[in-house]
Amino acid sequence: MKLGVFLPVSGRAAVPEVLGEAAQQAENLGYSSVWAAERLVNPWEMNTAYPYKEDQKWQGFVAPNVPFLEPLTCLSFLAGVTKKVQLGISVAVLPYRHPLYTARVATSIDTLSNGRLILGVGVGWMVEEFKALNVQFDKRGAMSNEQLQIFDLLWKSDRPEFHGKYYDFPPLSVSPAPVQKPRFPIWTGGESEAAVKRAAKYADAWFSYHVKITPEELASKYAKVKEVAKQVGRAQPPTLTCCRPVDITDKPVPQDPQDLVGTPDQLIAALKKFKDIGVQHMACQFIVGRWPERKAKIERFAREVIPALK
C-alpha cells in the first residue's frame, strides 16, 4: 500500500520556502505522493454544512481570511522542486473550471513533472462557493460527468470533438499529450450513490474521504463500486484508494476501528487492515494546526510506520 501526505497549502506555512521544503522532505522520507487540497472561494457567511468534519463547520476549520493557495498552481511549483514523488490534488471541483482549461493545466503539470500527476476530482459541496463562481449547484453532477467523458477522449485522436448539454466544442487539439498513457490517472472522490456510479463508470480509482470508517465498511462500499463497474461493462473496476485523517501519538490510546490514531505500532496494525482489503494508495492528512508539529509527525510516521507497510 502506497502512502501519501497532504502539504501545507493553507495557513501561514503556505509560502514557497516551506511548501518546497515540505515536498522534498516527503519525497526523501519515502512518501509515494504529496497532495494539495482545493478551495477557490472562502465566503465570510456560510450556511452549508461541511460533510467532512464532525461539527460540520468549515469556517472553524479554515477561517475565511486564512491564506489558501490554488492547488494546481501548487503542483506546478512542486513539479520543479521534486524528482519522483507523485503530485496529487484532492480534489479539483470539476464544475469550477472549463474542462479544456483543466485539461491544458493538467497535461502541462504531467509534462513538467515527467508523468507524476494524479488528478483527484469531485463535484463539490459548498453552495456559497458555486454561487460566487456563478456555477449551477444542482447541475454539478451532470457537468462533472461530461467533463470526465471529455478527459477520456481528448488524447485518443488527433481531432477530438465533443457535443454535450453543458460543453460543446469542434475538432481541436490539447497538446502536448500527457506523459502518462493513455492520460494522467483520474481519481474520483465522493461517497454518495451518484459518486459511486461516477467512479465505477469513469475513474481510474475511487478516492473516498471518510473522517471515520472501518476497513470492513470501506470494503463494503468498494464492493458496490465493483458491482456497478461490472454492470456498465468495465473489464477492470477502478482501484481502491482513499484519503484519511491520521494522528501519531507518543503513548498508546484506546483503539476505535473507525479512526487512525495511535502509536506507530497501533497505526501499523490499523493500516494493515486497510491494506488487507485492497487499498492501493492512501493520502494521509495529519490534523495538527501548526506546521512545525505537523512536520514532526510526518517525519516520525515515515520513519516508524511506512517501512512496515511496504
ω before 91 within 30° of 0 (cis)?
yes
Cα diameter, the chain: 61
- At 57-101, the pLDDT tens digits run 544 557 888 899 999 999 999 999 999 999 999 999 999 999 999
Residue that wins the pLDDT comparison between 41 and 54 = 41
Q: Residue 139 — φ and ψ, nearest 5°?
A: -105, 5
> 223: which DSSP letter?
H
- At 151-193, the pLDDT tens digits run 999 999 999 999 999 999 999 999 999 999 999 999 999 888 9
Asked if 89 and 113 touch (Cβ cutoff 8 Å), the reply is: no
In this prediction, residue 63 carries a pLDDT of: 80
Residue 91 burial by CB count (10 A; 0-12/13-18/19+): exposed, middle or buried? Answer: buried
- At 226-240, the pLDDT tens digits run 999 999 999 999 999
The model's pTM is 0.95
- At 255-269, the pLDDT tens digits run 999 999 999 999 999
Q: Residue 239 — φ and ψ, nearest 5°?
A: -75, 165
- Give me the torsion for CA of 197, 222, 1, 276, rounded to 10°: -170
Cβ neighbours around 59 below 10 Å, total: 14
ω before 64 within 30° of 0 (cis)?
no
Helix (H) or strand (E) holding 15: none
Q: Which bin fits 158, alpha (ψ -120 to 50), beta or left (φ > 0)?
A: alpha
Distance CA 188, CA 262 (A): 29
What's the grid cell of residue 292? 512545525
What's the grid cell of residue 131? 454561487
| CATH number, position 39 | 3.20.20.30
pLDDT band at 213 (very low <50, low <70, confident <90, very high): very high
Residue 84 burial by CB count (10 A; 0-12/13-18/19+): exposed, middle or buried? Answer: exposed
Distance of CA 165 to the CA centre of its chain: 27
Domain region containing 149: 2-309
Distance CA 35, CA 242 (A): 12
Q: How many structural domains compose the chain?
A: 1
CA Rg, the chain, in Å? 19
The three-state secondary structure class of 87 is strand
Stretch 116-138: mean pLDDT, rounded?
Answer: 96
Dihedral over Cα of 281, 287, 288, 289: its sign: positive
